[in-house]
Structure 1
Amino acid sequence: MRTLFFLLLLFVLGCGGADAPAPPPEDVYATGNTEEDRDRHVWQKPGLVIEVLGDIEEKVIADIGAGEGFFARRLAPLADRVIAIEIDQRWIDYLDTLRVSELPTSLQGRLEPRLALPDDPMLEEEEVDIVLFVNTLYLIDNPEAYLKKIRPALRPGGRVVIVDWKKEETALGPDLADRIGLSDLAHMLEQAGFAIVSTDNTELDYQYIMVAERK
């Protein structure tokens, strides 16, 4: 009788484990598979940027200009959901493939590629907790207007985290004229209805990090 009870207990525990979501992979901060991804890992310091986001276990994050998914695929195992925003269907198709190939089945639903417009992220009202821009805001034609469209998509207390190129000569990055200076960015955010929380111009070699909160 005891043997039967023990076998039944093992069966129940085994079934429960099969349905439980897999834990985040240990290499979530690790370098990627391609040489370009590995090179970027060195100077981008994704672990540092992710730490700036804070506790994201139950948060929905919009990754604006997700591209090849450098951050989206690292964030998906850690967050409740990551909406990877792109304006080119080819990147959406790529992200869909990446979602299936690089994430375990139990985590694939956490990464949602979404096609948007150059001047509209196509986010619903109060849909996200954090909006992340990495090397993207300077590419937007009217960044202040774009930030104003971002604000309604944030839940109360929601934040925007901007990682962009320093307004100085660096070994990597776009032309100096195309970059957004910290003071200009702070002004844009304030005009768009945000309050600056923190600014870091030293931790990354080529970029600054600015965090702002929805007022």
Structure 2
Amino acid sequence: MRVYLLLIPILFLACEQNDGPRPPTDDVYASPSVVDEDQERHVWQKPGVVIDVLGDIEEKVIADIGAGEGFFARRLAPLADRVIAVEIDRRWIEYLDTVRKTELPQEMQVRLEPRLALPDDPMLSDREVDIVLFVNTLYLIENREAYLHKLLPALRPSGRIVIVDWKQEDTALGPDPVERIGLPDLGRMLNAAGFEIVSVDNKTLDYQYIVVAERK
């Protein structure tokens, strides 16, 4: 009996190492190191803070642009009506689909939809979403203003955009400051794309600002 009990944790560890989704080796939006540092990221990313900014999402459809390994998508899916995890790398789509099947209860799996998109097009239908979420993604998009403009028809009348991106200053984490989007530039970009900023939080997160914008 004692030998049997000792074998249980060994078998559990073996299953834990061999089962479950494995991330692709690289990606345009998300670094593989982020996948291995989910717990560490949880500390500085403060996902609860970001989710609170989204408000009541129980009946909302959210597009998570550049979802990567699903750091936010997998947290939002049980809370929202549906989460569209938008990615441009098919390997991440396959990974997210495995996450959906292995981490969510069967009745909730329909709430997470991995969707393959293009670098310049999120592939969202007209009036499909209530909230578009960018986390550490917008600065990587080449023609940001045009991309933001394409989101206008996808948003429902009361829809909004939530942008969480790196502060344009030296921080312990994040890309080179020259690659980041400053708040004044972001404001001009949103305005030109047909949005207006309704709130800015540059203090709560250590490395990122949170901007909420609505259509004009």
CA distance, structure 2, for counterparts of residue 175 and residue 126 of structure 1: 36
1:151, distance to aligned residue in structure 2 (A): 1.1
Q: CA deviation at 1:142?
A: 0.8
- Aligned pair 1:143/2:144, yes or no? yes
Q: Which residue of 2 aligns with 1:28?
A: none
Distance 1:72 1:35 in 2: 17
Please state how far the C-alpha of 1:117 moved relative to its aligned partner: 0.1
**Partner in structure 2 of residue 107 of structure 1:** 108
Query: Residue by residue, what CA displacement relative to the aligned partner does 1:1-42 show, whole Å, maximum 9, x if unpaired?
Result: xxxxxxxxxxxxxxxxxxxxxxxxxxxxxxxxx751000000
1:79 equivalent in structure 2: 80
Q: Which amino acid in the other structure matches residue 84 of structure 1?
A: A
1:191 and 2:192 are equivalent in the alignment = yes
Matched, 1:49 2:50: yes
- 2:134 alignment partner, SS class: strand
Secondary structure of 2:131's partner?
strand
Alignment partner, residue 95 of structure 1: 96
- After TM superposition, give the deviation of residue 214 of structure 1 in Å: 1.5
Structure 2 residue identity aligned to 1:69 = G
Aligned to 2:166: 165
User: How does the TM-score come out when normalised to structure 2?
Assistant: 0.83
Q: Which runs of 4+ in 1 moved over 3 A?
A: none
2:215 aligned residue? 214
Quick check: 44-53 or 186-195, which moved more? 186-195
Gap regions ≥5 residues in structure 2: 1-34
In 2, Cα distance between equivalents of 1:163 and 1:187: 16
Aligned residue number for residue 12 of structure 1? none
**Who wins on radius of gyration, i.e. which is larger?**
1
1:132 aligns with: 133
For 1:186 and 1:46, how far apart are their aligned partners in 2? 24
Instruction: Name the SS for the 1:96 alignment partner.
Output: helix
Unaligned runs of 5+ in 1: 1-33
1:20-66 CA-to-partner distances (Å, cap 9, x unmatched) read xxxxxxxxxxxxxx751000000000000000000000000000000
1:70 paired residue number: 71
SS of 1:100's partner is: helix
* Counterpart code for 2:143: N
Structure 1 residue matching 2:162: 3-state secondary structure:
strand
Cα RMSD for the two superposed structures: 0.8
CA distance in 2, matches of 1:70, 1:151: 25
Taking only the aligned residue pairs, the percentage that are identical comes to 77
d(CA) in 2 for partners of 1:114, 1:126: 16
